[in-house]
Chain A
Amino acid sequence: MKKVLISLIPVLILLIACAPTQSVARGSVDQTQDLSGYWNAKDIQQTAEQIVRDVLGKGWLSVYKEENDRKPRVIVGRVRNLSSEHLDTKPLVSNIQTELINSGKVSFVASKNQRGSVREEREDQQYHADEDSAKRMAAELGADFELGGEITTVIDSYGGKQARYYNVKMQLINIETNEIVWQGQNEIIKFISKSRVKW
């Protein structure tokens, strides 16, 4: 009897269809869990915090203030994705920029992408806005430094196990002299174990 019932199990598995279900839960970035093992919101936050702490804590900032008696002006350059994963570098750059602006120690000027529309608007004002409120031409603030960097990965895997190493390297380059005044990095390593069904 038991054997007969056991033999029915595979048939039942084939016949029973599972209804799809969906649930949504909200959470903060702090609560982000590693689901796939890939680059995620928590990695962005952790990296941005580390980079900002590093860039603001190093000597270049005080040296610049002493020499120029003002906050350095930074422009966002390119952060290259040199990894083997399609990760968007924009959220990381945006996070770093936000933290740096909010620190009050550094100011940012519009990046190449943003400048176009601002210039268009300013030019438009010259014709259409009243003289008092129209903004001056050729009064842009030039940046002192460009912030750029790259993300690289090293993957080591065997069977269902994988170690993913992320290295985020950022640099501040003096636009006038090409001097690299600061370089910092953040490393993240993740160990992923994929379960496999025994045949």
Chain B
Amino acid sequence: MVNSVKQFIRVLSIALLLIVLLSCSATKTQKSHLETADNQIKQGNFAGAANTVEAVKDKNYTKKDRVLYWLDMGMLYHYAHEYQRSNEYLSQAEKGIEELYSKSVSRAVASMLLNDNVMEYSGEDYEDIYLNIFKAINYLELREIATEKNARADLFDKAFVEIRRIDEKLKGLEAKHKKMAKELKKSKEAKVEIKAAKNKFHNSVLARYLSMLMYRVEGNYDDARIDLQKISEAWKTQSHIYAHRQPDFKPMLKKTDKVRLNLMCFTGRAPDKKARTLYIHTEQDMLFFATSAEKKNYKRNLTSIDAIYWKGIEAGYHFKFQLPVMKNRDSKVKKIEVLVDGKKVQSPQLTENIQTVATETFKVKESLIFFKTIIRTVSKGLLTKSQTDKLNTGSELADTLLRWGVNAAVDATENADLRIARFFPAFVYTQEMLLSEGKHTLKINYYSSSGLLLFADDHGEIEIKADSINLRESFCLD
């Protein structure tokens, strides 16, 4: 009698597990809903893209993806020049990322059983950094339209708060992942040495550039010069990120009778995440890895783990798992032409490669994701095997079908967490122009490598004021 109750509970638990695993969309990253928004962005219809994302919010962004939703909406509203709304969303995203630093117990347990997709999305490091850049620009743009002196001063200070937060976050980046590695190492399932890679991004040129502009408009040339110095240091100490030619920013701190117009052009889209499927084969105390594709690239990133020592594992197991990898989306834009009052001026120069920053900062935690995934895959695989081995429904066919079903379902849950904010740009180009105070026309043309005009961003007539930061943005996210 006791045995039959045990058997009943076992079959019931497996059936429940099957139902949950197969029906749970939370275990997979959904991205298909973004196609319409992507097309609208290509046409420069950012407000339309924001409406599209908003319309699918309930269906495609669950509570666990709220940070992603806030990031996506915050960026779209920024491009749509709705700076107040953009800041509201980006602030929520920032707060969410900070809160999720302490992850909820239930989600952590669920991720052990399923995968990282069931966890709340806590943002990529580059998203957490660049959201402050866009918040800073939002405040500067709001300052331009504010009329009251005190309000303008407050908005200026708020923009500076955002710049300081970037510095604070960059300082904490390495420690954050070291701590995560330490905790992973402490788990009893971890049978190997786990280390986070070294963070190699400490200094953002774009943040320094904005800071320099702000100090300059305040008349604080000493601090502006420090930023200029830090910009030069970025090229020397982070050549893996700042591999492009360094623009000459020195003239920006020279006194002039003219009024300065600072143009920032954003092109392309920051990287996406793609899944890479890998297989584990076990020998006594050893795990062997094989990948279905792109072996070369995979080996480049995870060179030392084609086979790893895994104390206590027996020979003869086969498990499947997936890892997220960053895939650059680049940009079709290869040339930017700027026309002021109908005349061609110097083209903007590449200042920040957000795409590279995203990839480099992701590398810091890549090995952590790898080890966390194999710990989970192995633990889950062993647990499933121990349960299915004990199956005895009285029918051999039923037992075989159940085993097959559970194994397939467990494999199906090993989906890489491919969530990533969709609307950050890939590249930032800047150019300063010296003009007379007053009204001017501004047009920016974006060309492909074959010389095809991709997008003409006509700003029409703009007013350049002596006491203003005169920052203009242009977007071609194709």
Q: In the complex, are the beta carbons of B6 and A112 less than 8 A apart?
A: no
Contact string, A73-110, partner B, CB cutoff 8 A, digits 1/0? 00000101111111000000000000000000000000
| Interface presence of A128 (CB below 8 A) | no
Neighbour of B171 across the interface among A10, A157, A159, A197, CB < 8 A: A157
From A11-19, A57-65, A177-185, the one touching the partner chain is A11-19
Q: How far is the CB of A102 from chain B (nearest CB, A)?
A: 25
For chain B residues 80-136, which have a beta carbon within 8 Å of chain A? 101-106, 108-110, 112-113
| Interface presence of A195 (CB below 8 A) | yes
Interface residue tally for chain B (C-beta within 8 Å): 48
Neighbour of B9 across the interface among A4, A13, A83, A86, CB < 8 A: A4
A10 to B387, CA, bound (A): 15
A83 to B167, CA, bound (A): 12
Contact string, B174-200, partner A, CB cutoff 8 A, digits 1/0? 011011101110110000000000000
| Interface presence of A194 (CB below 8 A) | yes
Q: In the complex, are the beta carbons of A112 and B150 less than 8 A apart?
A: yes
Q: In the complex, are the beta carbons of B108 and A159 less than 8 A apart?
A: no
| Interface of B, helix, strand, loop or mixed by DSSP | helix
Q: In the complex, are the beta carbons of B161 and A85 less than 8 A apart?
A: yes
List residues of chain A with CB within 8 A of the CB of B10.
Answer: 4
Give the interface centre of A1, A13, A78, A84 by most chain B CB atoms within 10 Å. Answer: A84
Q: In the complex, are the beta carbons of A199 and B183 less than 8 A apart?
A: yes
Q: In the complex, are the beta carbons of B16 and A11 less than 8 A apart?
A: yes
Q: In the complex, are the beta carbons of A80 and B157 less than 8 A apart?
A: yes
Q: How far is the CB of B303 from chain A (nearest CB, A)?
A: 24
For chain B residues 142-191, which have a beta carbon within 8 Å of chain A? 149-150, 153, 157-158, 160-161, 164-165, 167-168, 171-172, 175-176, 178-180, 182-184, 186-187
Q: In the complex, are the beta carbons of A7 and B178 less than 8 A apart?
A: no
Neighbour of A11 across the interface among B13, B150, B172, B375, CB < 8 A: B13
Neighbour of B184 across the interface among A4, A84, A194, A199, CB < 8 A: A199
Q: In the complex, are the beta carbons of A199 and B6 less than 8 A apart?
A: no
A185 to B150, CA, bound (A): 23
Q: How far is the CB of B334 from chain A (nearest CB, A)?
A: 37
Q: How far is the CB of A37 from chain B (nearest CB, A)?
A: 11
A191 to B101, CA, bound (A): 17
List residues of chain A with CB within 8 A of the CB of B167.
Answer: 84
A112 to B171, CA, bound (A): 40
Q: In the complex, are the beta carbons of B6 and A13 less than 8 A apart?
A: no
| Interface presence of B453 (CB below 8 A) | no
CB closest residue in chain A, given B111: A199
List residues of chain B with CB within 8 A of the CB of A10.
Answer: 109-110, 112-113
Contact string, A26-66, partner B, CB cutoff 8 A, digits 1/0? 00000000000000000000000000000000000000000
| Interface presence of B363 (CB below 8 A) | no
Q: In the complex, are the beta carbons of A78 and B150 less than 8 A apart?
A: yes
CB closest residue in chain A, given B118: A14
List residues of chain B with CB within 8 A of the CB of A113.
Answer: 150
| Interface presence of A158 (CB below 8 A) | yes
A104 to B187, CA, bound (A): 63
Q: How far is the CB of A13 from chain B (nearest CB, A)?
A: 5
Q: In the complex, are the beta carbons of A78 and B103 less than 8 A apart?
A: no
List residues of chain A with CB within 8 A of the CB of B375.
Answer: 199
Q: In the complex, are the beta carbons of B179 and A7 less than 8 A apart?
A: no
List residues of chain B with CB within 8 A of the CB of A11.
Answer: 13, 16-17, 20
Q: In the complex, are the beta carbons of A159 and B176 less than 8 A apart?
A: yes
Q: List 12 A-B contacts (CB under 8 A).
A: A1-B9, A3-B387, A7-B13, A10-B110, A13-B106, A84-B161, A158-B179, A194-B101, A197-B102, A198-B183, A198-B186, A199-B187
Additional 8 contacts, C-beta under 8 A, given A4-B6, A11-B13, A199-B372: A10-B112, A11-B16, A14-B110, A82-B157, A83-B161, A83-B164, A159-B182, A194-B102
CB within 8 Å of A: which residues of B?
Answer: 2, 6, 9-10, 13, 16-17, 20, 24, 101-106, 108-110, 112-113, 149-150, 153, 157-158, 160-161, 164-165, 167-168, 171-172, 175-176, 178-180, 182-184, 186-187, 372, 375, 383, 386-387
**Cβ-closest 3 pairs across A and B:** A159-B179, A84-B164, A10-B113
